[in-house]
Structure 1
Amino acid sequence: MHIGLIGGVGPAATEVYYRALVRAYAAAKRRLALTIVHADAREMIANLEAGRATEQAAIFADYVDQLRAGGCDAVAVTSMGGHFCIAELEKISSLPLLSAVPALNSHLAAYGVRRVGVLGTRAVMQSRLYGVDSVEVVIPADDELGAVHSAYVTLAASGHATAEQCAYFHEAARKLHEEQKADAVVLGGTDLSIAFHEADLSFPVLDSALIHVEAIARAAMQ
């Protein structure tokens, strides 16, 4: 299968997907067929914050058409925030979509925890990973939700995490674990790995990007 990725939302997440797919195919001794288009992160974030799912789906559908023209067989969006319009996109996409949501649901069911916390955009947090139901999902307190969203959007747009940003997200994760009794914390923003790659935490941290990549690779190799 020739995989298509809608990247750029944000740049760091796109790199995570690319490198992880390369590793997966190298480990399987398979040849990777992959094409990436670059979407506008600022445009997507503006539509996300305004709740313009139909408009963003139409934008993504144009990128899907480009990927189809490039020979792709299926497409994935490299952003959990970008999944806010996945239902609308599925209706108009010219190619099958490899969504992160069922991949997360299956992974969490098999992981063996009952309660997970999530960090990411407001849409990802308030939807509790877009309706994942294999585990209980908890989110930051109401008075912290907006700050987590803003901090994540800033990080995703820049593609870089400062020491202060890393410390902020580590503390937010710790609160989910200690105050909300989350057995594990899901990085519900696919760029968040850049803030956690050197984290030394006492609880599991699960990267939604890597879980999604695993599912993409499995589907493509079949």
Structure 2
Amino acid sequence: MHICLIGGIGPAATDFYYRRLIRLAAEKDRDLDLTIVHADAPTLLANLTSGDGAAQCGIYLRLTERLKAAGAENVAVTSIAGHFCIDAFAEISPLPILDLTKSLSAWLQEKGMTRVGILGTETVMSSGMNGKLSPVDVLTPAGDDPKHVHEAYVTLVQSGAPAPELKDVFVRAGRALVDRGAEAVLLGGTDLNAVFTADETAFPVVDCAGIHAGDIARYI
């Protein structure tokens, strides 16, 4: 199947999906038929901040029409923050959408998790992944942590470089969530995969983008 990604939001996230799908295709001993189109990270962040889902859906629609003309059979958005308008986009998309929030919700329930923390953009955190993980309880950072995490994440997306001072912000906020009872912390921004690795974290994390990529790989 011809797999298609809306990438560029941000570049590090696109690179993560690309490399992961290459690896999964190799494990399956299958050729990877893949097309990636480029969306703009600053534009997405502006639409996310202003809550302009219609504008972002318009961008997704134009890109997906281009993908369909190239022979695409489905489409996935390589940005967790970019899923803020995914339901509205699903209503107008000319292709089936491989929705990260659905993949993640199913995975959490399969693992029997009942309470998780979350890191990412302010919108992703405050909405608990757009409210789509019920019945799992999603804890959000407290106090000034949401502001600090959001600012650090935006800097990470724009630079693509996980500087030590940025990692410190995420680690402190993640530890606080675990101290409040989170069984694990959701990496609610794809670029966080550049900061956290499974063997280096001081607390359990859930690789949301990795779960999504694994579901996409089922179509290889």
In 2: Cα distance, 1:122 partner to 1:202 partner: 23
Q: Structure 1 length as normaliser, TM-score?
A: 0.94
Greater Cα shift, 169-178 or 127-136? 127-136
In structure 2, give the amino acid aligned to 1:34: L
In 2: Cα distance, 1:199 partner to 1:216 partner: 24
Contact 2:8 2:40 in 1 (8 A): yes
* Counterpart for residue 99 of structure 2: 99
In 2: Cα distance, 1:93 partner to 1:42 partner: 22
SS of residue in 1 equivalent to 2:75: strand
Contact 1:3 1:74 in 2 (8 A): yes
Contact 2:148 2:169 in 1 (8 A): no
Contact 1:170 1:199 in 2 (8 A): no
Unpaired segments ≥5 residues, structure 1: none
TM-superposed CA distance for 1:201, in Å, is 3.1
* Counterpart for residue 78 of structure 1: 78
- Overall identity of the aligned pairs, in %: 47
* Counterpart for residue 87 of structure 1: 87
Task: Give runs of aligned pairs for residues 3-14 of structure 1, distance below 5 A.
Answer: 3-14=3-14
Q: How many pairs are equivalent?
A: 219
Is 1:149 equivalent to 2:158 in the alignment? no
TM-superposed CA distance for 1:122, in Å, is 1.4
In 2: Cα distance, 1:114 partner to 1:90 partner: 28
* Counterpart for residue 126 of structure 1: 126
TM-superposed CA distance for 1:198, in Å, is 7.5
Q: RMSD of aligned C-alpha atoms?
A: 1.3
In 1: Cα distance, 2:155 partner to 2:102 partner: 27
TM-superposed CA distance for 1:194, in Å, is 0.8
In 2: Cα distance, 1:198 partner to 1:77 partner: 23
* Counterpart for residue 48 of structure 1: 48
In 2: Cα distance, 1:7 partner to 1:42 partner: 13
Task: Give runs of aligned pairs for residues 172-211 of structure 1, distance below 5 A.
Answer: 172-178=173-179, 180-197=180-197, 200-211=200-211
* Counterpart for residue 18 of structure 2: 18
TM-superposed CA distance for 1:103, in Å, is 0.2
SS of residue in 2 equivalent to 1:197: coil
* Counterpart for residue 139 of structure 2: 138
Contact 2:79 2:190 in 1 (8 A): yes
Q: Deviations over 1:160-188 (max 9, x none)?
A: 1101111211111111111x210100100
In 2: Cα distance, 1:91 partner to 1:197 partner: 35
